[in-house]
Structure 1
């Protein structure tokens, strides 16, 4: 990209982030120990502009960034994001390589399979520009009248074909169990255990579990015991409190304990802040920052 243009973006972003109106002068902006990753639009009072938003996050102490929709953004912006991240030492988290397209992986016809494989090819092209290594994968829907374990086992063949495309490019697909519906119906993966079973059946280094503690908490499962049982297949983490899917501390989930557990496990990867905020403006930013400073202690 044009280096002069990029320099202007950095200067503008830094100026906006440093402005007294952006956040309190006495707010702790020391880099977080954990790689917490905000996403576009999450941080209240952030300046407009994608790279400016990343700069704002950096000034607040965040050293990771996550954007589910980065794969759909222009190649030019993807390259700008990659350049900024590299210069600032920011780790890029996931983007969604496929939402499943309403496909039942276990019985997908040739056309349905090709739609999923095309998603993989787009993911490869994105990764070439951004350099990111983890991408969220939602492996389709379930059929409620059939044995779930058999459906999961039968889904492995299409997942292996996906691995054949992405693995040589260093991409790790992280399978996300979801507590809500998706295109076509209920997701085949609802829990950490479901995701674990599919990862075990696929048995490839490019197919791992995304441990989104919000979804696991939303369906009522105990967080740490279920994470412990499935951790051997986990490769990425996301947060969000229950109820409401806002910042830690806004609900009932114990993210102090979860974060400590992750550190005890030696996890040093990205923790995606895949949630909203419980307040607007300066108050919202201060509550968000206080929540993450508390669990990062």
Structure 2
């Protein structure tokens, strides 16, 4: 066979296989697909629903078609068990890593571990036990924990000690399964007990378990403390998971004040192989807004 004919036939065959694979996996309306990202960015359900439709499986497949290699779902524990299983199977089929889901303890402000009350701790520990089963279904490793609000009638040192003791008991449940709760300091309310990377670092060191680490949410930490690269560097050995959102607005990178290309390059240079959860909204509506999110990540990921 002549070389020219061989190349033409090979090209046609490869194109047919590519198109067939895309049709088999889901509703993909974007012809520019399969970007090779440098980091594991993780979208969530609803972020691309105008392109992919309402079905969670179609949405996951659309994410994979765009080149995203991870996925996170805060509400996974509340989903139907059959859907959890199907989502886990789809992620495995598309070679995507499952990111965080939230340990159900009644809400960010509720059942505060800082109070040291048995009934609150029991709710948290029950959530950890149930989270183990969910993690098995979706092949997850990380789960988000928010300790709750301040217990204002107690000194801060006592509150911290109560949180540490509760988290140690939670870690005892998760550690045999190789699972990791990631503590998330938040900016949503001044009444939240956990608000800075410094405090979270202290608590993780005190719990002293591979199953208790930091979730560094760049949006929240920009609001609460700034100096992102400096503070990530100070707490780096306890950071297991990172989340994304620009400020102000909590939308995709390039819509606010954070120089995400520089931040992502620093994270990449640190050798981070974990997940960066896209826990933010879309700055624009409909398909154009969804495409803007994809374009923004391609832009800020171009740091090499």
| Pair in the same fold by TM > 0.5 | yes
Partner of 1:189: 194
Secondary structure of 1:67's counterpart equals coil
Structure 1 unaligned regions, length at least 5: 1-9
Kept after mapping to 1: 8 A contact 2:72/2:98: yes
Q: Offset at 1:293?
A: 0.6
Secondary structure of 1:155's counterpart equals helix
Query: Which 10-residue stretch deviates more, 246-255 or 90-99?
Result: 90-99
Distance 2:284 2:135 in 1: 34
Partner of 2:9: none
Distance 1:249 1:117 in 2: 39
Q: 1:52 to 1:233 in 2, by over 3 A?
A: same
Distance 1:59 1:103 in 2: 40
User: Residue deviations 1:77-117, cap 9 Å, x none?
Assistant: 11111111111110000000144562232333222211111
Q: Count the aligned residue pairs.
A: 279
Q: 1:194 to 1:234 in 2, by over 3 A?
A: same
Partner of 1:238: 243
Q: Offset at 1:64?
A: 0.6
- Of structures 1 and 2, the larger Rg is shown by 2
Kept after mapping to 2: 8 A contact 1:189/1:195: yes
Match of 2:27 among 5, 10, 16: 16
Kept after mapping to 2: 8 A contact 1:100/1:138: yes
TM-score by length of 2: 0.86
Distance 1:11 1:33 in 2: 22
Distance 1:165 1:15 in 2: 37
Q: Offset at 1:28?
A: 5.0
Partner of 1:272: 277
Distance 1:129 1:283 in 2: 34
Q: Offset at 1:219?
A: 2.0
Partner of 1:221: 226
TM-score by length of 1: 0.88
Q: Offset at 1:15?
A: 4.5
Kept after mapping to 1: 8 A contact 2:150/2:192: yes
Partner of 1:160: 168
- Runs of 4+ with >6 A deviation: 10-13
Matches within 5 A, 1:106-255: 106-144=114-152, 146-181=154-189, 186-255=191-260
Distance 2:108 2:291 in 1: 37
User: Residue deviations 1:133-168, cap 9 Å, x none?
Assistant: 000011122134654344223321111111111111
Q: 1:123 to 1:272 in 2, by over 3 A?
A: same
Q: 1:242 to 1:145 in 2, by over 3 A?
A: farther
Structure 2 unaligned regions, length at least 5: 1-20
1:68 matched to 2:79: no
1:94 matched to 2:100: yes
Secondary structure of 2:92's counterpart equals helix
Kept after mapping to 2: 8 A contact 1:134/1:172: yes
Q: 1:89 to 1:280 in 2, by over 3 A?
A: same
Query: Which 10-residue stretch deviates more, 134-143 or 203-212?
Result: 134-143
Kept after mapping to 2: 8 A contact 1:101/1:116: no
Kept after mapping to 2: 8 A contact 1:37/1:270: yes
Q: Offset at 1:34?
A: 1.1
Q: 1:13 to 1:272 in 2, by over 3 A?
A: farther
